[in-house]
Amino acid sequence: MWRISRCCRSAEFVFNSNVKVAMDLDSDESDDSQIIDDDVVSSHSNYSSDGLNGFAADMDEIVESVQVSSNAKAFDINIAGRHEYLGNNLDAVSGFTFYEENSVQKIPVMKHQTVSFPGQKMPFNLIHQSLIAMVMSVMEGDKTFGLVAELDHYNESVKGCIGVTFQVMNCSPVTQGRCQLTGMCRQRFKIIEATKNNEHVLSATVRILSDKLIVPFYASMVSNSRDRTKCSSRRKLNASIRTPWPTFVYEQYSADKLVESIHAQLMELCHGREEQTKAPSDPLILSYWVAQNLPLIDQQRTFLLNLDCPVQRLRWELHFMAKCSRICCCTCGMEVSNTNSVFSMNTDGPQGAYVNPDGYMHDTLTVHSADNLMSRGLPTERFSWFPGYKWICVFCISCLAHIGWRFDSAGDCLPPCFWGLTRKALITMPGHDIDIESGSELRPII
């Protein structure tokens, strides 16, 4: 037996009739621990259980050992976003619901495992009958319900929490007590009050929140509306003369300048590969897109979701991207990858939401390379989030915490190998060249 020294929630995934591998190990704040039986796993594994060195494989050797066909083609990143692993019985849903900003609405609300952002696409594999009944009910109406993160398991109150509306885009019939659906998060809301029905489903009165755009300082100083939209650098300079601060101060809060800086930072991280830097250009949409794709802990995601200004959100994100580059195990701090290894296997960005057979969702960050990880068991293609790839669980070599999965090409896909790291197991730390003694560099003024 070997013990994972974290509190875990087990969602075992059967990949043949005799073997079970923990596909979902999610951290909670308690002292419980998850035990995985060596006899079950090692009997179907190439690794020995005689100490850590027996089953910690060298990652370079793993990549070299993956056999890829000479006719292999680059993986089509459009496939991952379709969530084909959920089955082929998802029916498209027509219609679009957009609530008026600052209006008060009454909607059903689902407590969820992660903090979500407007514009984020998400899959669900529902197995709880009360939630399935709720979804079937909203499908007869505007096909919209609310999502709110359940971060404190000891506090059931959701009053005052910030969540997002979720629009169902594809939904399957209820089969064998299960319902699969995909959709997109649309708008932020704040819960005014909430009640539970007899089936413990939340019904909440919410206020739809708006985002406040900062008007450029020169907007009120030019003569007409046409000049306001096409204000040259010369006009901005002339306008800044009539203000107490120089131009560069105002440009730190310019949405256009922040978008340029974010795009430049993404281009640098992706080494100039344009196909990996298809980020939005609209400041509001970009602020949510970056928040969705950064490997942030839940508290950081909640902080960004609560901000009501895209400029503040972009400033915080730009600071984070510039300072934090080491991706580490959140349990022991062992470095497992870095931001230079991040790449996209999904059109929605490098970090996508995927759901396992037991309904647990993982925000999964894809990276080219990873260190200090070990794998156990045999790779399998069943329920693979990336068709054409086999997956196998990987764990931190220091504390044995579940970090994610290694995906090996089944023979026809490129890249031959990559890693999917579950965000819940990660914490992103400043680079080795960043001085963190004072702490001031890590507290941006937004």
Tens of pLDDT, residue by residue, the chain (446 residues): 333 323 333 333 323 333 333 344 343 333 333 333 333 233 223 333 333 333 444 445 555 556 666 677 889 999 999 999 999 899 999 888 999 999 999 999 999 889 999 999 999 999 999 999 999 999 999 999 999 998 776 677 889 999 999 999 999 999 999 999 999 999 999 999 999 887 778 999 999 999 988 776 555 555 554 444 455 566 666 666 667 767 777 778 889 899 999 999 988 877 655 445 578 999 999 999 999 999 999 999 999 999 999 999 999 999 999 999 999 999 999 999 999 999 999 999 999 999 999 999 999 999 999 999 999 889 999 999 999 999 999 999 999 999 999 999 988 889 999 999 999 999 999 987 665 544 444 445 55
Spatial contact of 231 and 218, defined as CB atoms under 8 Å apart: yes
DSSP 86: G
- β-strand partners of 164: 147, 188
0.85 surpassed by pTM: no
Using the structure block, give the residue that is written with the tokens 């503040």. 312
- β-strand partners of 427: 328
Spatial contact of 266 and 280, defined as CB atoms under 8 Å apart: no
Q: Where is 428: in which H helix or E strand?
A: strand 426-430
User: What is the distance between the alpha carbons of residues 349 and 359, in angstroms, rounded to a whole number?
Assistant: 22
User: What is the distance between the alpha carbons of residues 316 and 70, in angstroms, rounded to a whole number?
Assistant: 45
Residue 293 CB coordination number (10 Å): 23
Phi and psi angles of residue 154, each rounded to the nearest 5 degrees, phi first = -95, -5
Q: Using alpha carbons, select from 277, 276, 302, 275 the residue that is nearest to residue 291.
A: 302
- β-strand partners of 183: 122, 168
Domains and CATH numbers, the chain: 1-105+254-446 (2.170.150.20), 106-208 (2.30.130.40), 215-252 (no CATH)
From first CA to last CA, the distance across the chain in angstroms is 49
Spatial contact of 159 and 194, defined as CB atoms under 8 Å apart: yes
Residue environment code for 269-287, b if the CB has 16+ CB neighbours within 10 A, otherwise e? bbeeeeebbebbeebbebb
